[in-house]
Each structure stands twice: as structure tokens, then as C-alpha cells.
Structure 1
Amino acid sequence: MSTTKKELLITHLFDAPREIVFRAWTDPEKLKVWYAPDGCTIEYRHIEVSPGGSFHSCVHDPIYGDCWITGKYLEVSAPDKLVFTMVLSNELGNDVASADAGKPEDWPERLITTVTFEPIKQQTKVTIHQTVLEEEAKKTGAYQSWLKMFNKLSQLLIRSN
């Protein structure tokens, strides 16, 4: 019997048109509102959401401490798709090993995150795929963090409409 390990894949239905949901993923001011789990905040040293653009961010977690990330936008196809890398870093933007960032040693040094936006009448189905094993994402809390952030995004979209 073979057991295939599956990568993180989450789908969520938002009560807002696709263009508005896509904008919430690409507007730095909107990202600051929702792109961190409950009880945490995010800051951006810089962010340029465009093909070849990059970001350097930090999620400030009062329990687990800071988590610095750098990344590059590989694809920005409004309002259909975003593809970006995520690399654990330090405050200066230098890459760090997974263990040094508080992740398991086998955590990928570089994740690729693909987000698709599919219109369904007046709603938007968002599918996120990350190149990390779902099992590992659940162990570290990354999977649960996405669910919490999607709840925050839902609230933002309700307030925006």
C-alpha cells in the first residue's frame, strides 16, 4: 500500500467579486489588515506586487516571536493568479536555515505559493497551493494560520463591500 504525501492545498469561498479579493492580496495596506494569524501583526520592509517584484515581511507573534520572510513574485495575472516564493530570512533579508527560524529541519528552504481566483457568481473561490507537505504545515501551525487569515480576509471583504 503506497501512501502519497500531499502538499498543502486549501480552498475557500469568499463573498466578494474576484477583482476585490485579488486586490486584497496585492494591496499592501489591505495585506497589513489580514495577512497574519489571529493575535499577530505583519510589517513589510518593502513590497512590490508585480512580476519580478519582491517583498520582505515579518509576522510579529507575541507567543512564538518574529518570523521574517523574503519572496519574489513569479507571476501576477490580475485577477486570476498569483505565484510567489517564500524564503525564511532574518531582519536584514538574508536567508536562514529552517531550524534557525524555529521550523523543523526538513521544512523547505523555499516555498512556492500559488493562489488562484475563480469567479462563482458574486463570490470568489480562492485556492492556495504551497510546496510544503500538508502534514508538516499542520504540525507547525502554518495550515491553521491560513484558515485564520482567510477568516480575517472574509471580515475585511464584508467591511469593504
Structure 2
Amino acid sequence: MNTGKKELLISHLFDAPPEVVFRAWTDPEKLKHWYAPDGCTIEYRHIEVRPGGSFHSCVHDPVYGDCWITGTYLEVSAPEKLVFTMLLSDKDGNDVSSAAAGKPEDWPEQLLTTVTFEPVKQQTKVTIHQTVPEEEAKKTGAYQSWIKMFNKLNQMLVNSK
């Protein structure tokens, strides 16, 4: 679906080498500490980070309730790139339509997320691209959540040195 609208694209510079940042994106124990918006927590029913592997997670939001997601890892190239799908689901892993989950009508049923990890001296430039209109991501708070989660991740990386 190409609506001609600008898709979500965010870059962030992290104070750690690519191997360390990549591990923070693929280790479930590390993900639990940063991969949820402020005030929320995340749990994984399962996660298997490998090409063809999948995940089933839930972001617990005290204001908006639970948001269940399933996805499949299409590419796992340590420490350069991760590509995975994201679909809204229920707690049992069944797909849920975007509309039923309260998303705007422009929200795609499936998101493709591509994350690249590029060394920049002693740091890592992470770029995330999602196949969702950036305008909708900003309206729903998804865009802002990525920025806050990246800040949490960077703080976690700095504190673990």
C-alpha cells in the first residue's frame, strides 16, 4: 500500500558499539527494560530472533490498556540489520484488524519494520523505518513513543558500561 504519504523514519545516535545496541534489540531480557513507551511495560509470550522466527508481545499501558502484537523476523543480520513484521493481535495471537484495535483508518493491517545499525566512531546510528504514514504515527503517539524508547535504550546502554 503506497499512499504517497511519508512513512515513519527515525534515526538516533547511541553511545555504544553496534554489537551492543543490536543485542539490546534481540535479547528479551534487555528488551523488557526499554521496548515500551514511558509508563508502560512489555511482556513476551514468546520471542525467537532468527530469520523465520516470531514473537508475540503485549505492551501493558495503564491508560489505554493492553496492545498485543505478533510478528515474524524476515532478516536478522547481526549487527547490521533487523527486519520484522508487526500485526495487531489478541492475547491468543489471533490477528485483530487495525480498526478493531482502535487505530485510525489509514493504519496498515501489517507494518514492516526495518532497523539498521551503522557504526559512527564509538557510537551507533540506528535508523528505524516503518511502513506507516508518519503523520498517523505522530497523531497516535507511536512516533513520540519511539523517541522516548530510544532515550530509555540509550540511558540503559550508558548505565551498563
TM-score bucket of the superposed structures, by smaller chain:
over 0.9
Q: Which structure 2 residues correspond to residues 10-159 of structure 1 after superposition, within 5 A? A: 10-159=10-159
How far residue 100 of structure 1 moved from its aligned partner, in angstroms, is 1.2
Moved over 4 A (4+): none
How far residue 102 of structure 1 moved from its aligned partner, in angstroms, is 1.6
User: Gaps spanning 5+ residues in structure 2: where?
Assistant: none
| d(CA) in 1 for partners of 2:151, 2:65 | 22
| d(CA) in 2 for partners of 1:5, 1:110 | 16
How far residue 160 of structure 1 moved from its aligned partner, in angstroms, is 1.2
| d(CA) in 2 for partners of 1:87, 1:18 | 27
User: Gaps spanning 5+ residues in structure 1: where?
Assistant: none
Aligned to 1:6: 6
Normalized against structure 1, the TM-score is what? 0.97
How far residue 5 of structure 1 moved from its aligned partner, in angstroms, is 1.8
Q: What number of residue pairs does the alignment pair up? A: 159
| d(CA) in 1 for partners of 2:136, 2:68 | 19
| Amino acid across the alignment from 2:147 | L
Normalized against structure 2, the TM-score is what? 0.97
| d(CA) in 2 for partners of 1:144, 1:30 | 21
Kindly provide the CA deviation profile for residues 92-140 of structure 1, in whole angstroms up to 9, marking residues without a partner as x: 0000011111211231000000000000010000000000000010011
| d(CA) in 1 for partners of 2:88, 2:159 | 32
| Amino acid across the alignment from 1:98 | S
| d(CA) in 1 for partners of 2:156, 2:116 | 19
Kindly provide the CA deviation profile for residues 23-52 of structure 1, in whole angstroms up to 9, marking residues without a partner as x: 000000000000000000000000000000
User: Residue 153 of structure 1: SS of its match in structure 2?
Assistant: helix
| d(CA) in 2 for partners of 1:37, 1:106 | 22
User: Residue 51 of structure 2: SS of its match in structure 1?
Assistant: coil
| d(CA) in 2 for partners of 1:102, 1:32 | 25
